[in-house]
Amino acid sequence: MARFITTSSSSPTLTTSTAATASSSSWSSNATSTATSISSHSRTSRKSRYTSSHLLNAFASPTSRSSLSLSSTSSNDLYRGFLTTLVILLRMSSVAYGITDRLIVQTTSGPVRGRAVTVQGREVHVFTGIPYAKPPVDDLRFRKPVPAEPWHGVLDATRLPATCVQERYEYFPGFSGEEIWNPNTNVSEDCLYMNIWAPAKARLRHGRGANGGEHSSKTDPDHLIHSATPQNTTNGLPILIWIYGGGFMTGSATLDIYNADIMSAVGNVIVASFQYRVGAFGFLHLSPVMPGFEEEAPGNVGLWDQALALRWLKENARAFGGNPEWMTLFGESAGSSSVNAQLVSPVTRGLVKRGMMQSGTMNAPWSHMTSEKAVEIGKALINDCNCNASLLPANPQSVMACMRAVDAKTISVQQWNSYSGILSFPSAPTIDGAFLPADPMTLMKTADMSGYDIMIGNVKDEGTYFLLYDFIDYFDKDEATSLPRDKYLEIMNNIFNKATQAEREAIIFQYTSWEGNPGYQNQQQIGRAVGDHFFTCPTNEYAQALAERGAQVHYYYFTHRTSTSLWGEWMGVLHGDEIEYFFGQPLNTSLQYRAVERELGKRMLNSVIEFAKTGNPAVDGEEWPNFSKEDPVYYVFSTDEKTEKLQRGPLAKRCSFWNDYLPKVRSWVGSECENNSAESAAVSIIYEKQQNLLKWRKIKIDIVKENDNLNTKIKFIMKNHYFYEFFLKKNEVKIFVFNNFS
């Protein structure tokens, strides 16, 4: 249930739902709000104002004055004084109404009233908590979203909406570095709301009134909506639409770090964000085991939430002064993967053709799962909630009725029982045959991405944040850890437990430190392995695929460790560190950034704005070429003046290992390898027993023809030797075996 300001002759009534009980004060630090002064005027209803204007006319007309019985000069003076005071009060009231009216927008769902903030001398109108779907509660739990019912009163859109149901991270109680990612509003299933920032001047110039821009207050003095000149369909501001991350398990559009006051004001753009369901509430997938009742829990409803929000924004873009053909999606981590999904899904394909992906793509291991795995996880949750998954085939309705009767907190807690290791979340976009018809790379192979503009990238140390949380008994958030070799191997084998033994040995060799100070290097190398495997290298691979399919791709790499970071130095440039810079937070002078960081924040914000306007993020005459497999050029965001802005990669050698070499190792060991003759490649593998490499010598060359049983030969070599190399040639595989010469 939403909040409405009634328009009756009595004082208006404010009704509040659990979906929006938090104060918006947490988003007021960057701006001066005029909401307080406006709210006092909004207590007078539209009908009361109309009646007051007629009272003024009655006192001001000669006929009315002659009908009054005034017997003396003093009476006339009293009358004039009263009339003057009344005129002044009513004029002040009309000015106040004008301010209030400017903050009302007529949407396809009904009128909404926002608040005004002033940011760096520019006024921005902010609308928070606008419902775009019915509350997904009771029978709507686990189902696709249903559009919100239209309303008739003016909706109070001045307070932050609820956060969708999730658990808090409390590994480090009281630590602000962790707390900034936890919900800052009440948690509720009634959470499908959105927020919009619109520059005041542009909104009033391009926005429309109640009749699509044709309304005039002169012809209808009783209308609350501010009138605006009709605009040509080519007019309007760009719209940036933010999708938050959180591993599809947590996150909220209301977090302080996502406050778009500065972005909207400085960039002169409209910014929107919205809540979507996470965890089992957003991704419970059971349709394959419920024939005839697929809509009970189809899966991916969190993505369907996003799609409905995008369509609402497209329909209402002009009401806020935006251009519906000028929409750009941007997001980070799971939000970035969501941007990816919305761009390629047949459900939303073509709705938006410009996307910015920060540290997350659909081909990443954590970013999608098979239907079979999702069903398995769903059944486990049902049993953990005492609803008996074995009854699904025969009586799916009773099972789902049971699941809808379980309190939200129980589901929120029990779903984590299926967490299976670092970045193996129990909820993720599912290959369901509908929203995602096939796995991400298969979809990309046939997708026509011509006409799409993509900005994509990573931060320098993507893996350290997750390494700390999953191996908290080994590492400290503040100080670097000297990790013995046996512990290093234990952690690496744990992280990559789903890989084959040959793959794990290849990974361990690739990320073994051959330099001094191995203890601290072991910690760093594990962080690099996690970041490369789960983030940077999937992004690299997907960016190449996007370019091959016709998209204009611009790659960035963020390497600056912010001076405001609360995490240990060893963690470097953390996953998510770039967000505050893209949102322009360093331009907030009340925050303690260095001058070079403010300049970096300005440059990064300008890049986002320029990308939203033109599809190319280059600013100030700088060159930023398109990224491709043949020319993998990327732009470095850094405060170091010595750093080359344009480089190639990123991490070309390390990502070649993940994207090219490792799949070949998998095929060599997992098949007869008849087809491994197309190109040259090399993979070095080392076992746990480390020897002095100066004592190793190549003592045997074994050439295996393609007709030989290569699988058996490789297994024999790997079993009996510690260090060896495979060189794949056109018609043969050369195996170089190293033995201990001493």
What DSSP string runs through 528-560? HHHHIIIIIHHHHHHHHHHHHTT-EEEEEEE--
Q: Does residue 211 share a domain with residue 334?
A: yes
Q: Does residue 555 share a domain with residue 492?
A: yes
Strand partners, 357: 331, 456
Mean pLDDT of 583-592: 95
Please identify which of the residues 333, 367, 418, 607 carries the catalytic annotation.
333
Of 15-29, 178-192, 374-388, the range with the lowest mean pLDDT is 15-29
Would you say residue 227 lies in a domain? yes
d(CA 490, CA 428): 27
d(CA 282, CA 287): 14
d(CA 139, CA 400): 9
Q: Is 462 a catalytic residue?
A: yes
Q: Does residue 505 share a domain with residue 577?
A: yes
How confident is residue 204, by pLDDT bands cut at 50, 70 and 90?
Answer: confident
Q: Does residue 272 share a domain with residue 256?
A: yes
Q: Does residue 356 share a domain with residue 457?
A: no
Q: Does residue 91 share a domain with residue 201?
A: no
State which of 325, 355, 378 marks the end of a domain: 378
For residues 48 and 174, which has the higher predicted lDDT (pLDDT)? 174
Report whether 646 contacts 624 (CB < 8 A): yes
d(CA 513, CA 501): 20
Would you say residue 135 lies in a domain? yes
Give me the CATH number covering residue 202.
3.40.50.1820
Would you say residue 160 lies in a domain? yes
State which of 79, 101, 123 marks the end of a domain: 101
pLDDT tens string 312-350: 999 999 999 999 999 999 999 999 999 999 999 999 999
Q: What does the H/E/C string look like for 446-461?
A: HCCCCCCEEEEEEECE
- The domain in which residue 52 lies consists of 34-101
- Residue 203 burial class via C-beta count within 10 angstroms: exposed 0-12, middle 13-18, buried 19 and up: buried
The Cβ of residue 622 has, within 10 Å, a number of other Cβ atoms equal to 12
Query: Over the Cα atoms of the chain, what is R_g?
Result: 30
With a CB cutoff of 8 Å and minimum separation 6, the contacts of 300 are 282, 283, 285, 429, 430, 432, 434, 435, 436
Nearest CA among 309, 42, 38 for reference residue 161: 309
Would you say residue 665 lies in a domain? no
Please identify which of the residues 462, 541, 597, 610 carries the catalytic annotation.
462
Would you say residue 429 lies in a domain? no
Q: Does residue 602 share a domain with residue 477?
A: yes
Q: Does residue 13 share a domain with residue 132?
A: yes
Find the helix or strand (DSSP H, E) in which 339 lies.
helix 334-344
Would you say residue 159 lies in a domain? yes
d(CA 637, CA 331): 18
Q: Does residue 692 share a domain with residue 610?
A: no
Q: Does residue 698 share a domain with residue 580?
A: no
Which two tokens mark 544?
Answer: 């190449």
Q: Does residue 60 share a domain with residue 126?
A: no
b/e per residue, 412-423, with b = 16+ CB within 10 A? bebbbebbeebb
State which of 101, 123, 145 marks the end of a domain: 101
**What sign for the dihedral angle of Cα 232, 104, 612, 326?**
negative
Q: Does residue 94 share a domain with residue 235?
A: no
How confident is residue 483, by pLDDT bands cut at 50, 70 and 90?
Answer: very high
d(CA 260, CA 270): 9
Q: Is 575 a catalytic residue?
A: yes
How confident is residue 75, by pLDDT bands cut at 50, 70 and 90?
Answer: low
pLDDT at 245 over 80: yes
Would you say residue 351 lies in a domain? yes
Mean pLDDT of 668-672: 56
Q: Is 296 a catalytic residue?
A: no
